[in-house]
Chain A
Amino acid sequence: METSTNEKLKKTTTKPLHISGAEAVIRCLLAEEANLVYGYPGGAIMPIYDELYKFQDQLHHVLTRHEQGATHAAQGYARTSGEVGVAMATSGPGATNLVTGIADAQIDSTPMVCITGQVASHLLGSDAFQETDIIGISTPVTKWNYQITKASEIPEIMAKAFYIARSGRPGPVLIDITKDAQFEMFDYEYEKCKGIRSYQPYPSLSIEAVEDAVELIKQAKKPLVVWGQGVILGKAEEAFKTFVETSGIPAVWTILGLSALATDHPSNRGMVGMHGNYAPNLLTNECDLLIAVGMRFDDRVTGDLTTYAKQAKVIHLELDPAEVNKNVMADVVLLADCKDSLRALNERIAPKTYPEWIQRFDALDAIEHEKVIHSDLNPSKPGLTMGEAIEMINKHSNGDAVIVTDVGQHQMVACRYAKFNQSKSNVTSGGLGTMGFALPAAIGAKMGAPDREVVAVIGDGGYQMTIQELGTIFQQQVAVKIVVLNNDFLGMVRQWQQLFFDKRYASTEMVNPDFVTIAKGYQIKSQRVKERKDLDQAVGEMMASDKPYFLEVCVEKEHNVFPMIPTGASVSEIRLE
């Protein structure tokens, strides 16, 4: 008798919930601890929004003002929290508006799950109202995507979506759910995904390769470490710090690697790439060993590949097999999560110093300081520079803020001069270079790190690409600080026109609205600074505010960002003026 009662009890406790597909989607999100969703409703996703209404005490939905904003906000959230960002949209235009953010997340390895509504399955292919083939459209820019036409598929597919988005090299996943599958009732049971047989996200590290790497490190006289976002994605900051401290090797970063090692760490020698620092670029072509950690040799980093670090042996610490030997051939490949590879190296390397080699950095730094940095940060001309605006933010943030940047001159200047004390503090669109990224990304960045100060630094061009997200900031009262560095130009394109197109400024001059008035319309406290004497107080006031704040800094119109490696040139051809 006892047994049968127990069995009965067991049966009732494990009895699946009989619920709609739409409710299942919400329960799956909660099971994955995704209790923050950015999105925009519409016809084909209404059943899911109806459930969001019922679950609003457990799941916070942020209504952005455009679906693109939802993806960038989800990206910003993922970048500061390290969790999967979630974005939702309806079918047709709702879905296509997600594409830019998805492509951005794909190239910058950001974990994101996008859920789109789709017309009912019997209408698929009939060119129904707001029908679009979002699976076809998103295929090249997603890590994985899937169309659900039956409610019973929802739990397994949602579990896979989160697993795929966050494991291995992270990336965006899109799940398209037909409206009938959202309405359909079924027996819901959820099990987290633990593995997929055709997907092996963590290759096992070859100890032989580790030993080969150690040998190369031992022999090196002028070694250089270039690190990328892999250090952050692999949560390897501590192991990385130990590695550079023990090995004594100077370390330089790609734009997405920024903040993994504190700016004032003595081993941190600056940025590589097109607008990177002088020493890191020049010495890339002088080092005898290049240790690439979690970076992919993007063309903006390498310049002309035929002349890139040809004299050096290369050790590549990389998780994604497809990145190995893609652009630069490596002598030793450590194919694993870089936390594991770094730990394995740390166990085997001996402390070392390279005083003469370090002096080369110091000497070149001094040249860059004299020719570029000094006038950027302490200009003698009356016009404000972007550099001094960033320096003023440093003064008031003490390097503790998250800096979100858009794309262009201000982005390069911010990355060059912003100070960072902790990891996951630099949020920018690196690979895709998406103007309009920063404002919505800052919303997500702040929600992903609510205790931190988040400052969005944006150009006047990119700001106007997603300016409508001021509405989201207003409605949600997200305390982001927005700094628009306004030069009334699409500055980076103008710089190229000046340098490479004989100053033919085709469609780069902007007649801008009164940004302060616009911010006021959203009841966001705002200020405009035109003169140097007002900058300190304005930035101070902005940083002291516990509410959203808008600051427009009118900067010199035709200032150029240097150093610069012209497209296709060698890193050795870096120009200081």
Chain B
Amino acid sequence: MEQKIYTISVYTENNVGLLNRISAIFLKRHINIESFSTSESEIKNVFRFVIVVKMSSEKVVKIVKQIEKQIDVIKAFYHTDEETIFQENALYKVKSSALFEERQIQNIIKESHSNIVTVSPEFFVIEKTGFREETEQLRKDLEPYGLLQFVRSGRISVTKAKMGISEILNTFKNNNQ
């Protein structure tokens, strides 16, 4: 079965322990999570998990059903890369001396469309938002100048299609009345 990258979006109530409950679903099936991020969604008090996994389409359907089965999960979806707009964010910490002594660094920053977040006498921090290849390329480019720290966020993504969570919540509300 062909494996593909899927972005799973999970809308949930804000409950302690839910993160554990969702990750346990992957653990039970020995599935590695490529990236995981969470934040409040467009609806107050409704959270959105964005989970990136590599698996077959047969498996992703089943996983999404298992996630949606959890009591505090409002709705879960899965999408292919083509169906979503997604980005990752990366931070790069470099010695300040490099910025002033190595001319090339300034060109790298300019060409990669990254931003300088902070500069101190000892170090400076560059930020880059984009696709995995772009943040990865910048890492490669900066490595020769001594990368003190590097960190990349999980994928965040929005779908091209409408999610309609407010409508779903309204239907649920009516069902329960």
Residue in B21, B66, B172 whose CB lies within 8 Å of A198:
B172
- Pick from B20, B28, B71, B73 the residue with the most CB of A within 10 Å: B71
Minimum distance in angstroms from A445 CB to a CB of chain B: 28
B120 interface residue (CB < 8 Å to A): no
- Tell me whether A198 and B17 are in contact (CB under 8 A): no
Enumerate chain B residues within 8 angstroms of A324, measured Cβ to Cβ. 65
B119 interface residue (CB < 8 Å to A): no
- How far apart are the CA atoms of A145 and B72 in the complex, in Å? 10
Enumerate chain A residues within 8 angstroms of B20, measured Cβ to Cβ. 135-136, 139
Q: Kindly supply a per-residue 1/0 record for chain B positions 73-106, scoring 1 wherever the CB is within 8 Å of any chain A CB and 0 otherwise.
A: 1100000000000000000000000000000000
- Tell me whether A199 and B71 are in contact (CB under 8 A): yes
Minimum distance in angstroms from B173 CB to a CB of chain A: 6
- How far apart are the CA atoms of A325 and B61 in the complex, in Å? 10
Q: Known contacts A136-B20, A139-B21, A321-B65; decide if A197 and B172 are in contact (CB<8 Å).
A: yes
Q: Kindly supply a per-residue 1/0 record for chain A positions 355-387, scoring 1 wherever the CB is within 8 Å of any chain B CB and 0 otherwise.
A: 000000000000000000000000000000000
**Chain B: CB-nearest residue to A163:** B71
Size of interface on A: residues with Cβ below 8 Å to B? 23
**Chain B: CB-nearest residue to A140:** B24
Residue in A135, A136, A144, A320 whose CB lies within 8 Å of B71:
A144
Interface size class of B (residues with CB under 8 A): 20 to 34
- Tell me whether A196 and B71 are in contact (CB under 8 A): yes
Enumerate chain A residues within 8 angstroms of B17, measured Cβ to Cβ. 135-136, 139, 145-147
Q: Known contacts A135-B17, A139-B24; decide if A200 and B175 are in contact (CB<8 Å).
A: yes
- Pick from B13, B65, B66, B173 the residue with the most CB of A within 10 Å: B65
A47-88 contacts to B, CB under 8 A, are none
Enumerate chain A residues within 8 angstroms of B175, measured Cβ to Cβ. 195, 200
- Pick from B27, B66, B175, B177 the residue with the most CB of A within 10 Å: B175
- Tell me whether B71 and A143 are in contact (CB under 8 A): yes
- Tell me whether B28 and A200 are in contact (CB under 8 A): no
Q: Known contacts A136-B20, A326-B62; decide if A200 and B69 are in contact (CB<8 Å).
A: no
Enumerate chain A residues within 8 angstroms of B68, measured Cβ to Cβ. 321-322
Residue in A136, A139, A322 whose CB lies within 8 Å of B66:
A322
A455-471 contacts to B, CB under 8 A, are none
- How far apart are the CA atoms of A140 and B27 in the complex, in Å? 10
B1-43 contacts to A, CB under 8 A, are 12-13, 15-17, 20-21, 24, 27-28
B169 interface residue (CB < 8 Å to A): yes
Q: Kindly supply a per-residue 1/0 record for chain A positions 310-339, scoring 1 wherever the CB is within 8 Å of any chain B CB and 0 otherwise.
A: 000000000011101110000000000000
Q: Known contacts A139-B21, A139-B24, A144-B71; decide if A197 and B176 are in contact (CB<8 Å).
A: yes
Enumerate chain B residues within 8 angstroms of A197, measured Cβ to Cβ. 13, 74, 169, 172-173, 176
Q: Known contacts A145-B17, A195-B176, A198-B172; decide if A322 and B24 are in contact (CB<8 Å).
A: no
- How far apart are the CA atoms of A145 and B74 in the complex, in Å? 17
A194 interface residue (CB < 8 Å to B): yes
**Chain B: CB-nearest residue to A144:** B71
- How far apart are the CA atoms of A238 and B79 in the complex, in Å? 43
Minimum distance in angstroms from A220 CB to a CB of chain B: 27
A25 interface residue (CB < 8 Å to B): no
Q: Kindly supply a per-residue 1/0 record for chain A positions 132-153, scoring 1 wherever the CB is within 8 Å of any chain B CB and 0 otherwise.
A: 0001100110011111000000
- Pick from A140, A164, A324 the residue with the most CB of B within 10 Å: A140
**Chain B: CB-nearest residue to A201:** B71
**Chain A: CB-nearest residue to B170:** A197
- How far apart are the CA atoms of A325 and B68 in the complex, in Å? 15
Give B contacts to A, CB under 8 Å: 12-13, 15-17, 20-21, 24, 27-28, 61-62, 65-66, 68-69, 71-74, 169, 172-173, 175-177
The 4 closest A-B pairs by CB, nearest first: A195-B176, A322-B65, A198-B74, A140-B24
A-B contact pairs, 9 of them (CB 8 A): A139-B17, A139-B21, A143-B71, A164-B71, A197-B74, A198-B172, A322-B65, A322-B69, A325-B61
List 18 other contacts, CB 8 Å, given A321-B69, A326-B62. Answer: A135-B17, A136-B20, A139-B17, A140-B24, A145-B17, A146-B15, A164-B71, A195-B177, A196-B176, A197-B74, A197-B172, A197-B176, A198-B72, A198-B73, A200-B172, A200-B175, A321-B65, A322-B66
Give A contacts to B, CB under 8 Å: 135-136, 139-140, 143-147, 164, 194-200, 320-322, 324-326
